[in-house]
Structure 1
């Protein structure tokens, strides 16, 4: 196959969880040019993928005119294979010799990565291993992280993601501070990360921290924050895209779940773990429990 189209997902974490399927496509068709349909919010994840072709944007809330424009643009190419992980019908409107979608697939497990890989079952041996999630970084992002983290002493750094996109998914700022106090002898510095909307929360966390810290909330793009996470010893955060980015760059990751489905959407990888709050209420999750799980994670990584 020479021309392949890969239709990925919208949110940052969801997009990261599609990268094992993308890596599998590359393994199956090493000579193919793989175009991507992605959401503008998360397409930066794929920017430096060395084997991608074009990235075309599908706006999740775009009107029919923009959708028709995207379809017209895609139909200019006759694809050998379209892999559609959204399965919203787009694949059936395009010119393709073969289409693979989620319709009728039988996953081997409950996780989103396993569901994505089930779409590719016709292309791979049943016992084949699943590739890890990936984020592709360049020297400029690595240098950015090195520069921004240079004020911190030592190398044992705890990265914290105190924000999320929905209030019930957010562990209280005071609990993050209590966690740092509980594990302060295990680390030499703290990295606070998140979007501009998380600045007030990160400032609340930092007020009484017992360790030196760097607050990068609102001052990084997706690839820069991935490079920062790559420098951390471990990441602890709410259920958000940051945990998936951390896992994708190989950093041990502890995700705090209140509502949600951790068995389906926890960060993928051998160095990832999660804590489920009592009664699915993060306000009831104690820093003592999180500190214990964090030490367990560090002991096995």
Structure 2
């Protein structure tokens, strides 16, 4: 048996974009056993992955104590290959025949999928995940669902909630969206960010914040007609689920993080990330929205053309 260790990202988006590596190394060694290390959030998805034999959740602790806990869990084994996508020093102290440590490409601005997978394998490896069968009852099954993800983990890249509501109102009267409903998804911890949107009484809008686990969101997305959301891990999950995916961008890099796949669309305003954050006094801890230049009518026009 050939043991392969993959130390993946703490973030959901990056873990998804590099997910094809699990299948790649599973096929590379027919008798392989894949051990996958990831953050707590992606753990809820990847623990159902068929190509992963052992999964180790990476929970951050004070004083970087989590690295010591991880080291104890993986040190006393002999590995065929160690793949470290975090570029950590821990990989240098493991017993392995081959060691590949990801280093960011500072010379070219390329998509994360290409940057990570070509760095590790020498070729492009598409994101991919095969989920084990689980008992998931989709209450919206059979309905034409537009999934809306109006939040993100950083306030500057969240499109204003009033824009989402205006978009829903305008899009719902279009002939292409006749009989469609709009389902809001996201983690319960981010529900407070859209209190205004959730307070609106609209029979076509359903709030499912915190009602699904991450793997259930993935299965739910597979049955949706369209996804519209900010640049986030759930946007990448939608693209992975092969649903038509529209990603709204502001301060984050489209080149690096646009939704991956043929059935995707990214929309941004006139201002580039450098225009929004390039000045020397920019504070990354700020909570101000940086997507005010992305207008509702422009987004609507793009979506109508995309949704066929």
TM-score tier after normalising by the smaller chain length: 0.7 to 0.9
What is the CA distance between 1:76 and its match in structure 2?
1.4
1:124-273 maps to which residues of 2 (within 5 A)?
126=123, 130-134=125-129, 136=131, 138-141=133-136, 143=137, 146-147=138-139, 149=140, 155-184=143-172, 185=174, 186-187=176-177, 188-206=180-198, 212-273=204-265
Q: 1:133 aligns to what SS in structure 2?
A: coil
Structure 1 Cα separation of the partners of residues 133 and 291 of structure 2: 36
Aligned residues: 287
CA contact (8 A) 1:3 1:80 kept: yes
CA contact (8 A) 1:162 1:198 kept: no
CA 1:106 to 1:25, structure 2 compared with 1: closer, same or farther past 3 Å? farther
CA 1:135 to 1:247, structure 2 compared with 1: closer, same or farther past 3 Å? farther
Structure 2 Cα separation of the partners of residues 58 and 180 of structure 1: 38
CA contact (8 A) 1:58 1:70 kept: yes
What is the CA distance between 1:137 and its match in structure 2?
5.3
Deviation string 1:4-38 (CA, Å, 9 cap, x unpaired) is 10110011111111102222222222321100111
> Which structure 1 segments of 5+ residues have no match?
none
CA 1:39 to 1:241, structure 2 compared with 1: closer, same or farther past 3 Å? same
What is the CA distance between 1:45 and its match in structure 2?
1.9
CA 1:209 to 1:257, structure 2 compared with 1: closer, same or farther past 3 Å? farther
CA 1:209 to 1:169, structure 2 compared with 1: closer, same or farther past 3 Å? farther
Question: What residue is the counterpart of 1:46 in the other structure?
Answer: 46
Deviation string 1:49-83 (CA, Å, 9 cap, x unpaired) is 11312112333455344422321221111001111
CA 1:24 to 1:107, structure 2 compared with 1: closer, same or farther past 3 Å? farther
What is the CA distance between 1:179 and its match in structure 2?
0.9
Structure 2 Cα separation of the partners of residues 137 and 292 of structure 1: 38
Question: What residue is the counterpart of 1:75 in the other structure?
Answer: 75
1:290 aligns with 2:282: no
- TM-score normalised by the chain length of structure 2: 0.84
- TM-score normalised by the chain length of structure 1: 0.86
Question: What residue is the counterpart of 2:99 in the other structure?
Answer: 99
CA contact (8 A) 1:202 1:217 kept: no
Deviates more, 1:131-140 or 1:266-275: 131-140
CA contact (8 A) 2:113 2:126 kept: no
Deviation string 1:206-236 (CA, Å, 9 cap, x unpaired) is 5557652221012222112222222211111
Question: What residue is the counterpart of 1:111 in the other structure?
Answer: 111
Deviation string 1:62-117 (CA, Å, 9 cap, x unpaired) is 53444223212211110011111111122112111110112487999701111111
CA contact (8 A) 1:105 1:118 kept: no
1:267-282 maps to which residues of 2 (within 5 A)?
267-279=259-271, 280=276, 281-282=290-291
CA 1:7 to 1:224, structure 2 compared with 1: closer, same or farther past 3 Å? same
> Which structure 2 segments of 5+ residues have no match?
277-289
